[in-house]
Amino acid sequence: MDKIKKAIRTIPDFPIKGIMFRDVTTLYSNPEAMKHVINLTYNYWKDKGLTCIAGIEARGFISGSIIANNLSLPFIPIRKKGKLPYYTISQNYELEYGTATIEIHADAINKNDNVLIVDDLIATGGTALACIKLIDKLNAKVSGCTFIVDLPQLEGKKRIEEIGIEVQTLCSFEGH
């Protein structure tokens, strides 16, 4: 776990003052630390009956597709509005300033699927909760969520666990 945390670079005041940006590009470029990420995730989820992996744009695509391949499961992208070319289902969610919309292909997930949601980091949990609602609209089940980084002060992990969904995080940082 320490190896993973040490491989993540912190950029103070990015993109705005007061945010400590946890930059996973330095983790993604470190094959040893990434092997830990994938082993921990694989071992945690391998016997939980998952049928597909949904990665959140953009950093969730990178770890999500490696995890999907290791578990021999399909990878499904959840993207920002207007990026997916086929019929889509969408979900709006609140940002600190304004709202955002995420989308999934309407035929990407079936109603009997057990989905694992993947992203690099959970902060307030707003993005992940929007993904959960999106998958609910397709009548599939979210079996869990996995994030490399948790920011526990922002309580996103707690929010998701409170609605009965299992959450795995691999390391945590203080602050925002």
**Distance (Å, rounded) from C-alpha 118 to C-alpha 93?**
18
If the CB atoms of residues 77 and 156 are measured against ligand AMP, the closer one turns out to be 156
Handedness of CA 162, 173, 56, 4 (dihedral sign): negative
Which residues contact ligand AMP by CB under 6 A?
19-22, 56, 59, 119-127, 156, 176
**Distance (Å, rounded) from C-alpha 42 to C-alpha 108?**
22
Q: Is the peptide bond before 58 cis (omega within 30 degrees of 0)?
A: yes
Q: How far is the CB of 104 from ligand AMP (least distance, A)?
A: 16
Token duo for residue 8: 């993540």
If the CB atoms of residues 107 and 161 are measured against ligand AMP, the closer one turns out to be 161
**Residues near 60 by beta carbon (within 8 Å), at least 6 away in sequence:** 78, 117, 118, 119, 120
96 is catalytic: yes
Q: How far is the CB of 48 from ligand AMP (least distance, A)?
A: 22
If the CB atoms of residues 58 and 107 are measured against ligand AMP, the closer one turns out to be 58
159 is catalytic: no
Catalytic residue selected from 22, 32, 59, 166 = 59
Q: How far is the CB of 59 from ligand AMP (least distance, A)?
A: 5
Q: How far is the CB of 53 from ligand AMP (least distance, A)?
A: 16
If the CB atoms of residues 63 and 88 are measured against ligand AMP, the closer one turns out to be 63
In 3D space, the residue among 23, 19, 1, 29 whose CA is nearest the CA of residue 10 turns out to be 23
Catalytic residue selected from 9, 22, 79, 96 = 96
3-state helix, strand, coil in the chain (%, to 5): 35, 35, 35
**Distance (Å, rounded) from C-alpha 116 to C-alpha 10?**
27
Catalytic residues: 59, 96
